[in-house]
Amino acid sequence: MGMFDAINISSSALAAQRVRMDVIAQNIANANTTRTENGQPYRRKVVVFEERKQSFADILTQKIGQAQSSSYGGVRVKAILEDPSPFKKVYDPTHPDADQNGYVNYPNVDIVTEMVNMIEASRSYEANVTALNITKSMITRTFEIGK
């Protein structure tokens, strides 16, 4: 593992968790949106992560012998998917989006679940900031050894 691989891994995790927090915030903001552009209620979105693979250039460099160690990938956002769970039906015949029986479809967003997910993403972000700071501190101290 190279000296800067840990920084690259932590920075990829920071970027991925930031996207996750943005999507969670979007879910919370649209928790009561009963009609979107397609005429349906807002559908909750979920972020899917995957391991960040090495680039083609990294693999080619290793294969022709210019690099001795493999670089580590980190994480990236693979996709942002819509949650297929059913909408919440609420009886409100006065609502403009009520059906002929007086029921309104509300988004499949649960505020409590979203807040727990936001706390988890925030803690993961903080943990990666801590790992990044420790790595920077170790690199700085390495340069001070010869003094």
Amino acid at 39: G
Give the confidence band of 141 by pLDDT, cuts at 50, 70, 90.
confident
Structure confidence by residue, pLDDT tens digits, 24-79: 999 999 999 999 999 999 999 999 999 887 666 666 776 776 555 555 678 999 99
In this prediction the pTM is: 0.82
Structure confidence by residue, pLDDT tens digits, 62-75: 677 655 555 567 89
Nearest in space to 40 (alpha carbons), one of 108, 109, 105: 105
Strand 88-91 to 103-106 pairing: antiparallel
Question: Is there a contact between 12 and 52 (Cβ–Cβ < 8 Å)?
Answer: yes
How far is residue 103 from each of residues 23, 28, 30, 43, 109, measured CA to CA in Å? 28, 22, 19, 17, 17
Q: pLDDT value at position 108? A: 95
The DSSP call for residue 102 is S
Question: For the chain, what is the mean pLDDT?
Answer: 89
Torsion of CA 109, 120, 23, 128, to 10 degrees: 180
